[in-house]
Amino acid sequence: MGETGEPAHGRLLFRHPSAILLGAQLFGVLLYPFVPSSGAGRVVLEVFGALVLALAIWSVRRSAGQVWISIALGVAASSLSIIDAFHHTWGLAFGSAVLHALFYFWAAANLMIYMLADRYVTVDELYAVGATFTLVAWAFAYVFTALQMLQPGCFIAAVDSDEPRTWVELLFLSFTNLSSTGLSDVVPITEHARSVVMIEQLAGLAYVALFVSRLVGLTLGRSIRAAHDRDIAAESASSDD
């Protein structure tokens, strides 16, 4: 319990929502391989996906307009996914992928604005660096999903090359490209797929160059200012003596 009587986990949720979002997304990365993508497993994945969407909405709340846009995109995307889980159609699956991509791009953009708004680095902003990266990775994975539906066979892999790539494979492709660690074993073979992959590679480089370096610079600047203030205080105390 804190001094106000509020539980510690409650303070974390309200003060560091980006940490909760980042943790949920990383948990999802570990969860997906253990849950089948059909039947009851699909329902579990959709429920978990709805939870992640809710956490993302909570993390990017800034104004009434932004919250309502986030809620509208999140509810629409989640609703289409749940309906598609029980009554699968191409249109529902494609619409869900597009809306999910729009939602995650919107959420990531809001977290970027949040990180650029302050001149001082907070703990939540440090968590937001990781959460924003995972949001963008999820967004591009859904773009790959939609693209694969429009162009079957646009992504191939060493295993079952003729089969559509699974969600985990496309998410893996997104993470490896965004982090500039390579193409993984999933390869885009059409011009449209390669164009989208190149855009994600550029987005990953720009993100590190702009946001990560900025936060590092602000953190170092704060340390330098704190050391300077301590030196001034020490000199002032010495002169008083």
Indicate the pLDDT class of residue 4, thresholds 50, 70 and 90: very low
Distances in Å between the Cα of 28 and the Cα atoms of 52, 83, 168 are 9, 21, 10
- 204 and 197 Cβ atoms separated by less than 8 Å: no
Quick: pLDDT tens for 65-98.
578 888 899 899 989 988 888 888 999 999 999 9
DSSP letters spanning 45-71: HHHHHHHHHHHHHHHT--SHHHHHHHH
Question: Which residue has better confidence, 69 or 225?
Answer: 69
Give the count of beta carbons closer than 10 Å to the beta carbon of residue 60.
27
User: Which tens digit of pLDDT belongs to each residue from 34-67?
Assistant: 887 776 777 788 888 888 888 888 887 755 557 8
For the chain, give the longest Cα–Cα distance: 81
Domain positions in the chain: 8-240
How confident is the model over 159-186, as pLDDT tens digits? 888 899 999 999 999 999 998 887 678 9
Q: How confident is the model at residue 2 (pLDDT cuts 50, 70, 90)?
A: very low
Helix locations, the chain, DSSP H: 8-15, 17-31, 40-59, 64-86, 90-117, 123-150, 167-178, 191-207, 213-240
